[in-house]
Chains A and B, each alone.
Chain A
Amino acid sequence: MIPLGMIPPGMIPVDMIPRDMINVDALSVRFGATEAVKSVSFRLARGEAFGLVGESGSGKSTVLRALAGLNPHWTGRMMLDGAPLDARRDKQFFRRVQMVFQDPYGSLHPRQTVDRALSEPLLVHGLRDIDVRIARGLAEVALPLSMRYRYPHQLSGGQRQRVAIARALMAEPEVLLLDEPTSALDVSVQAEVLNLLADLRVARGLTYIMVSHNLAVVAHLCERVGVMQGGELVETLSTDDLRAGRIRHPHTAALRELSVELEEPEGVT
């Protein structure tokens, strides 16, 4: 193949230019008088995993929610796979982009079985072979088929989050938006869910954006991290640079220092 640089610009076939899966440009979100997100820009290639970290109120979840179409009051430009996104999203968007929330107890209907939760996206998008897809979906998140007719309260926290992930995958999306997906889980369950998310990404070629206040969790799953403070994206860096301390912004350094200090048990250092 000829390196792209050797072809005069006008002659590059359009479909050979690598297209961003997600491109956020100068995104701002306002809640009344407060500007929760101030001109945030970032882009992700297809199959990439990008983490957004910051303290509560830094705007990281607001960015994710605006991208997911849960907040129509934004300005700037957001593109999915080269196509600009409007304030209102069509059905096709929700087929391609799905979200997983922090609290699976809050995001699953308490009076609907796992079967109902998983079949709804299939019905909405007019997908067939519901039985086959549900069986496959449960297997994919390592839940036994016997869970199919259980209610959320009959499941453990980890199992509920697996159901929430299975539901997000039902419509075969290309992008998963993960909002603190393991913060409500025990550390041993967190490890299982993080391994699962890593496996699914490889198996399905998914693109992830993950929001968390836990730097170690984000660094584990993502190649690149954006650090937010007071609504601004103050630094974007690779996970390797973050681990090694090759940092430019003081807030990133402060978050990293705290994380490293508290993650080692007392007596080791």
Chain B
Amino acid sequence: MLVEIANLRVRFPTAHGMSDAVRGVSLTLGQEKLGIVGESGSGKSLTARAILRLLPDSAEITADKLAFDGIDILTANEAKLRAIRGRRAGLILQDPKFSLNPVMTAGAQIAEAWRAHRGGTRRLAHQAAIELLAQVQIREPARVADTYPHELSGGMGQRVMIAMMLAPDPELLIADEPTSALDATVQAEILRLIEDLVSRRGMGLILISHDLPLVSHFCDRVVVMYAGRIVEELRAADLARAKHPYTRGLLSCIPALSHKQNRLAVMQRDPAWMDA
């Protein structure tokens, strides 16, 4: 599996003409863990969703190349896309409260995903759902399979979401701010779980977040996006040696427990970053 993106552009019509949300992003991803970091509106989610062509209808996408394992995403028909979406590439979103069906039990939702992609009897799918819940380290998988989303905590909900995404045994997992709605302890648990599953199953991972230090702990490589462009790309281990002032700004404006700052550094945005 290989994701190739070259010169990706995403534009939206507005009252004042076209607005460029992604402006010429190029990256390739193999069986590795890639972090995409940036603030709201930087185009990080749109870039990742473009891989599945999951963009609003009004979006205009162009690219020199946009391919998932050699399949041209821009020209693929719906049937071809369906074979990728969910099956070969899973998507985990921020808040499980909004991504899970509130009137179906956790087990039934996972079983549905299993059957949609793999077929088989209901019984078999239910068994598979319980096994998947065990894989995402839920202690009583059979009991949790019978619960409804409102009975689950945020962390448990996200585990169910991950189990559902794993059902078709995908090659790529796109996690878009998967832990922003969770508190610090659960956040770390979920990210460790994702990292562990991705490594063990030999999947590719795109982890999207606005928290640069956090992402660096769970990825091999990080790209930093600003105003629709990649401003810097570096190995996670080299984050401390980041050169771009925006990347450095992202690192220095976060309060730290280990040392006291009287005032937090505030990002001075340079208009030149738009093109750098």
Contact = CB atoms under 8 A, between A and B. Distances in A.
A267 B236 contact: yes
A268 interface: yes
A243 to B, nearest CB: 6
Contacts of B188: 258, 262
Interface range on chain A (Cβ under 8 Å from partner): 35 or more
A216 B256 contact: yes
Contacts of A198: 263
Contact of A215 (B236, B257, B261): B257
Contacts of A213: 183-185
Contact of A262 (B217, B240, B241, B249): B217
Given A186-B40, A194-B264, A260 B257 contact: yes
Question: What secondary structure prevails in chain B residues at the interface with A?
Answer: loop
Contact of A216 (B40, B210, B240, B254): B254
Q: Which of B182, B185, B241: most chain A Cβ within 10 A?
A: B185
A242 interface: yes
Nearest to B267: A188
Q: Which of A219, A262, A263, A265: most chain B Cβ within 10 A?
A: A265
A52 B251 CA distance: 25
Nearest to B237: A267
A186 B210 contact: yes
B216 interface: yes
A55 B255 contact: no
Contacts of B182: 56
Interface in B197-245: 210-214, 216-217, 236-241
Contact of B153 (A57, A192, A255): A57
Contacts of A263: 213, 254, 256-258
Contact of A260 (B154, B237, B258): B258
Interface string B38-58: 011000000000000000000
Contacts of B272: none
B127 to A, nearest CB: 31
Given A214-B184, A264-B213, A191 B253 contact: yes
A195 B255 contact: no
B184 A195 contact: no
A215 B183 CA distance: 11
Contact of A266 (B183, B239, B261): B239
Interface of B: 39-40, 153-154, 182-186, 188, 210-214, 216-217, 236-241, 249-251, 253-261, 263-267
Given A215-B257, A216-B254, 4 more contacts: A55-B184, A190-B253, A216-B257, A262-B217
Interface of A: 55-57, 156-157, 186-192, 194-195, 198, 213-217, 219-220, 240, 242-243, 254-256, 258-260, 262-268
13 contacts: A56-B186, A188-B250, A188-B253, A188-B266, A242-B257, A254-B185, A258-B188, A259-B257, A262-B184, A263-B258, A266-B236, A267-B216, A267-B240
